[in-house]
A and B are shown apart, each in its own frame.
Chain A
Amino acid sequence: MSIDFAINSPVFLRYLLIVGGLLLFAGVVLGSLRLAGRNVASPLRTYRGWLIMIPIVLGTLFLGREATILGVTLLAAVGFKEFARATGLYEDWWMTGIVYLAIFALGAVSLVPDPRLGSPGWYGFFMASPVFVIALILLVPIVRNRSRGELQKVALAILGFIYFGWMFMHLGFLANTGNAYGYLLFLVFAVEINDVAAFTFGRMFGKRKLRERISPNKTLAGSVGAIAISLVLPWLLWFSFPHFSPALLVLTGLIVGVGGQLGDLVISYIKRDIGIKDMGATIHGHGGILDRVDSMIFVAPIFFHMVRWFNGAG
């Protein structure tokens, strides 16, 4: 994964064309709706958010392995910050600081070569990191000689690291694989399309609620529609991973379709339990960073291990 590779990669070029085409299409549709006198203020805000986010994401991937891992690390750190601010863990600088440090250490572990095998990314340490980080977090109350309310802080810090740090950062570790551009571009694209499809199908056909006590806006129709779209996408974008067998394409579609929506629902019940609407206000028209990347958190690690299981480290 590097600039040279990206310039000569037909995969990168194709995604550039697809995403550019879709953005243009959406822009034309929104523009004509607006000319027709419809109120499109809210989708237009979301659209502007995309116009800023997509070049940043594509630009980071274009710059190669190091930029991608750094980008994912920063996203994980900001995502954890939003979680910490939402739950109130942010007031505890020890806990927050240790999770920040652990997230950046995980970024470094993804970057350095394996000391024994020499392959990019220290896989063994990456996968074993929860042992050390959980141990470290559990030590904090002992070092500070405190007990009151510490269980809640420890639990939140561990969840914050494992879920928003470790699980999400499998996405960055994918940059170490031989087919990194295909995997990463497909995942980011497919997960976002899955989100959009769930929303659109829900709007058009949605009647029965999917999980009304968690997220009243999600419907069964939206969910089924999104899974259907996600099952089709790997076939259309087969060029991203030409070595995949048809069975793997089905599996990939399921991981994106089901995993994406699970990630969404997890953030939904976290928000609902806390009693907030959005995790933050970082991206105009989209809420916080977590409201945008939530679907990726389930998909990234499961897809990563699927690839590794069927295709080895390459």
Chain B
Amino acid sequence: MDTWKYHPSPGIDTPVSESLRGFPREPGMLAYAIRSVAALLLRAWMRTYHRLHIEGRENLPAKGSYVLVCNHTSHLDTLCLLSSVPLRSIHNCFPAAAADYFFSSVPRSAVSAVLINALPFDRKAKGARSLALCSALLKTEGNILILFPEGTRTTTGAMGRFRSGIGRLAAGSDLDILPCHLEGGLRAWPKGKLLPRPRRLHLRIGQAKNYRHLDRSPESVKAVCADLEERVARLGGGAE
């Protein structure tokens, strides 16, 4: 009789505190259950408290992987985008979140990993490793990445310049990039305030664009960034 073959989980020796920060994450039944309930509650809260209105949902591709690129005014941006994707994709939808902020402690990591399903993004060192993680992630059918190319929340309402990361990710790759614009985030939850206020939010999702025809040169990267920056701004009707 042949002996059985076992397949232990790769992270079996990793303590919980570390596995929360790790990525890709091992799928766990409990985490999925909590996240599903949290997603439902989040959607209810967004609809009632913030009267979230989503425009252009039909632009979301029905299948394949894609990237949502949005202006960044508050933590509500992530939550709005999470509420805009189909509920069944919630476990395949990964908002890129600054590792130095969202994964700085064990409780924060737990919220980021379990509830938000965040991808820990290393803002330092130009994010080369994190970008490699993103492109690997997007090779799997049906994965959604949420990215805020400004890299940080705006305090004035004016959109910051897009950092090169999104350009390096998109230029020359067969990836659908959807520009999004959220209006009202700054009034609802300005940086530094503890809790959001009941202000209206308006999310516009633009049409997908693919940059596979470009090469990976620095010029193309700049062009992609400028193009996406303009598309996002145009969705918002100029400035917020």
Contacts and interface: CB of A to CB of B under 8 A. Distances in A.
Contacts of B7: 87-88, 91
Contact of A85 (B4, B12, B15): B12
B16 A88 contact: no
A276 B16 contact: no
Interface stretch (A16-24, A198-206, A278-286): A278-286
Given A281-B15, A284-B15, A274 B29 contact: no
Interface in A261-292: 273-282, 284
A279 B6 CA distance: 14
Nearest to A278: B13
Interface stretch (A93-101, A225-233, A252-260): A93-101
B48 interface: no
Interface residues of A, number: 22
Contacts of A275: 6, 8
Interface in A57-99: 85-88, 90-91, 93, 96-97
Given A277-B13, A281-B14, A284-B15, A96 B29 contact: yes
A282 B16 CA distance: 6
Interface in B9-28: 9, 12-16
Contacts of A273: 3, 6
A276 B13 CA distance: 9
A206 B236 CA distance: 76
Given A96-B29, A97-B29, A100-B29, A274 B13 contact: no
B6 A86 contact: yes
Contacts of A280: 12-13
Contacts of A281: 12-16
A86 B4 contact: no
Contacts of A93: 29
Contacts of B9: 85-86, 88, 90
B8 A152 contact: no
A90 B6 CA distance: 11
Contacts of B14: 281
Interface string B201-230: 000000000000000000000000000000
Interface in A87-140: 87-88, 90-91, 93, 96-97, 100
Nearest to B14: A281
A93 B14 CA distance: 21
Given A93-B29, A96-B29, A86 B13 contact: no
A88 B6 contact: yes
A97 B29 CA distance: 8
A72 B110 CA distance: 24
8 contacts: A88-B7, A88-B9, A274-B6, A278-B13, A279-B12, A280-B13, A281-B12, A281-B15
Interface of B: 3-4, 6-9, 12-16, 29
Interface of A: 85-88, 90-91, 93, 96-97, 100, 152, 273-282, 284
Ordered nearest first, which 7 A-B pairs have the shortest CB separation? Answer: A88-B7, A85-B9, A281-B15, A274-B6, A86-B8, A87-B6, A88-B6
